[in-house]
Amino acid sequence: MPDQQPHRHHPRPPVRPRALRLGVAGPVGTGKSSILATLCRELAGELDMAVVTNDIYTDEDARFLRSAGVLPTERIRAVETGACPHTAIRDDVSANLDAVEDLEEAYGPLDLVLVESGGDNLTATFSPALADAQLFCIDVAGGDVARKGGPGITGADLLIVNKTDLAPHVGVDVDAMVADARSARDGLPVLALSRHDPASIAELADWVRSVLARRRNGTHVPTDPGPMAPHSHAHHHDS
């Protein structure tokens, strides 16, 4: 007699989930591309990776990363966003999703796709439709931004206070800046980072590994830091 058991008890073959999409956002020049390069250097030996960059008019970030030699060049794609880089990671993410999906199709299955936001003076954050997790990068030279807050600072999965090696030169107390950042984040993690500090780089790599592990065991929930504050600037858009 055929087995009448409901099929729900049949074990499914393991499905490798699509890559973790990790967004890296933050103000211009705070070290986003350098963080991507660092993560590729640290993790490409153990994870299958690819990179998408967003630049306003050029593919400069992609070219920087290709020339850094941290990943095969064809795994680094540039999305040119036009005048409105925050739109491309927040309101209409289709060009970025296309780039991520193209990379997964061409080189997948991948473990990790890093997406760098366009350089923007505004504190843009990634839509959860594009990024499963996001880190927000500020640097010690940028003034009192940790205290001023904004959705990336308060709500990103990880806040990086970057270039701590420069702190003595710009008269900044890193511990105080990290404490300000922590008090704005309701328990979310803050990492003081410098590319000259291997221990901080190891911590960053471990954080990425832990998000990947949580995503694989189903305990990572993508969260939306929220939209950026209403703003106006030289070009028009609807949001």
Residues at the binding site are 26-33
Can residue 168 be called a binding residue for ligand GTP (CB under 6 A)?
no
Q: Taking CB under 5 A as the rule, does residue 194 contact Mg ion?
A: no
29, interface contact from ligand GTP, Mg ion, none, CB < 5-8 Å by kind: ligand GTP
Annotate 114-149 with DSSP letters as a single string. Answer: EEEPPPBSS-----TTT-SEEEEEEEGGG-SHHHH-
Instruction: Assess 203 for contact with ligand GTP (CB under 6 A).
Output: no
Asked if 195 is part of the footprint of ligand GTP (rule: CB under 6 A), the reply reads yes
Site for ligand GTP in 72-131 (CB under 6 A): 119
User: What are the CB-based long-range contacts (under 8 Å, 24+) for 219-224?
Assistant: 220/132, 220/133, 222/128, 222/131, 222/132, 222/133, 223/128, 223/155, 223/157, 224/125, 224/127, 224/128, 224/155
Write down the least CB distance from residue 193 to Mg ion, Å.
15
Give the footprint of Mg ion on residues 42-61 (CB under 5 A). 61
Among 32, 75, 77, 90, binds ligand GTP (CB under 6 A): 32
- Known binding residues for GTP are 26-33
Residue among 221, 18, 214 at smallest CA distance from 132: 221
C-beta closer to ligand GTP: residue 94 or 121: 121
Query: Which tokens belong to 175?
Result: 């511990």
104 CA to centre of own chain: 17
Query: Which among 31-39, 71-79, 123-131, 227-235 is the span making contact with ligand GTP, rule CB under 6 A?
Result: 31-39
Under the rule (CB under 6 A), what is the footprint of ligand GTP? 28-34, 61, 119, 162-163, 165-166, 194-195
Under the rule (CB under 5 A), what is the footprint of Mg ion? 32-33, 61
